[in-house]
Chain A
Amino acid sequence: MNPSSSAVRLAWVIWSPSRAFHALRERPTWLGAFLVIGLGSAGLTWLTVPIVQRVSMDALSPALTAPQIQQIIQVSDFAHWAATAAAFLTTPVSWFVSAFLLWLIAQVFEGLPSFKSIFAVVAHANLVSLISACLVAILILMKTHGGVADPDDLDIRLGLDLFWRGELPPALRVALASFNPFNLWYYGLLMVGTTTVCRFSAIRATGVIGSFWALNLAFGSGFAWVIGRLTATTPT
């Protein structure tokens, strides 16, 4: 198989990550990964958003007047397009932020990686997020076929938050949700990738990825805490 092919590299990310990242060290590319993951994410968003909107609308409509329903339908159409476009466009932006952070941390740990190689590692490791999104979409489809009427039932939990009954404070929920198999897989791939492109030892790569994970968790939980407080005043 041609190791320069994007499809082959993406397949190797799943079956033989070390091989994939060795190929990326020699020739760091990301456009193929972006097209597959970006378009895949956008497609899944296009598929699932109307389902969630329909269930929410069914739950709300008895309490709404006809003009209000009409207004919500108009907003929903816009939201459908906007969410799909956002899923595609925010993909490289989030990769850039992650790669920049990881690149800085790698240098603090005395590595000399090129930004392009780190970006390529982050791009390919994000294949896991597409697989995770596929699973979420399948679960949403299965639940709606099962006749779910409550929008809260479409809230798919894949992490430790799954085992917590009732409402969780947003920051704690983000923290618990980060412990999910796909996230662990993602950080595992980043570790293999960092070890390969930075020629780090396993211990040093653990330090880099551990710091990266801690920063992500701290910022994610902090942001969830602020947003949670902003939306905490919920009418009953």
Chain B
Amino acid sequence: MMRYPRKSGSLAVLLLLIAGAASGLLWLQAAYLPGAPPQLGQPLPSLTFTDGGKNQIGFGRFLGRKLLAVFVDPECGFCQAQYQVLREFHQEASAYSLAVVVVVRQEPGAPVAADQADSTLPFPVWIDAHGQLRRKLGTSRVPALFLLDEDGILRTRQVGYQALDDIVAFVRHLDRPQSVLASNETVTP
């Protein structure tokens, strides 16, 4: 009877490859996929960012004020355009007593993202290492805008470049008590 000396070894390598491919997909999912997006009308999970002075900081410090948090990437062209809109929005923000924070993704070894964002931005720029915190907020796309009311409740989340008029409309929507504005995202369950 003919023997096949490589049969067991081949089967073992094949099973290892299948296990490796499955593990790779699971790792990819765990490392890069956004988590479940926070519910509109609910507070955001507690997250800790770093500011330009490397201090630990969170959205909680803005409780009692409305807050617009804008997540961006340093190399994203649409984010550069969003900076320009935010600069124009500066005056409006004061009128609505709204705080604005720009959160920039920072990769290890890269120049400090906060410096890259735009030194002329009239808003604080915080750092999100590897974009991990924004994935915890259920999004991997930028720019992503999160609008919170005075109680820290998420009232809307918009992904993609937003024009000045759109941002003003979102902020005005905050004046309607308890109302939420549907996110423009579609999320695959």
Those of A207-236 within 8 Å (CB) of chain B: 215, 219, 222-223, 225-226, 228-236
- In whole angstroms, how far apart are the Cα atoms of A105 and B10 in the complex? 7
- In whole angstroms, how far apart are the Cα atoms of A45 and B165 in the complex? 41
For this complex, into which size category does the number of interface residues on chain B fall?
20 to 34
- In whole angstroms, how far apart are the Cα atoms of A169 and B164 in the complex? 34
Contacts of B17 in A (CB 8 A): 101, 104
Those of A95-138 within 8 Å (CB) of chain B: 101, 103-105, 107-108, 110, 112
Query: A2 interface residue, CB < 8 Å from B?
Result: no
- In whole angstroms, how far apart are the Cα atoms of A65 and B138 in the complex? 29
| Dominant secondary structure at the A interface | helix
Residue of B nearest to A236 (CB): B184
The number of residues on chain A lying at the interface, defined by a beta carbon within 8 Å of a beta carbon of chain B, is 28
Those of B107-161 within 8 Å (CB) of chain A: 138-141, 158-160
The stretch that binds A, out of B27-35, B48-56, B88-96, B169-177, is: B27-35
B10 and A104 within 8 A (CB)? yes
Query: B188 interface residue, CB < 8 Å from A?
Result: yes
Interface residues of A (CB under 8 A from B): 65, 68, 71-72, 101, 103-105, 107-108, 110, 112, 169, 215, 219, 222-223, 225-226, 228-236
Return the 8 tightest CB-CB contacts between A and B, nearest first: A235-B160, A107-B10, A232-B188, A104-B10, A233-B185, A104-B14, A110-B4, A222-B25
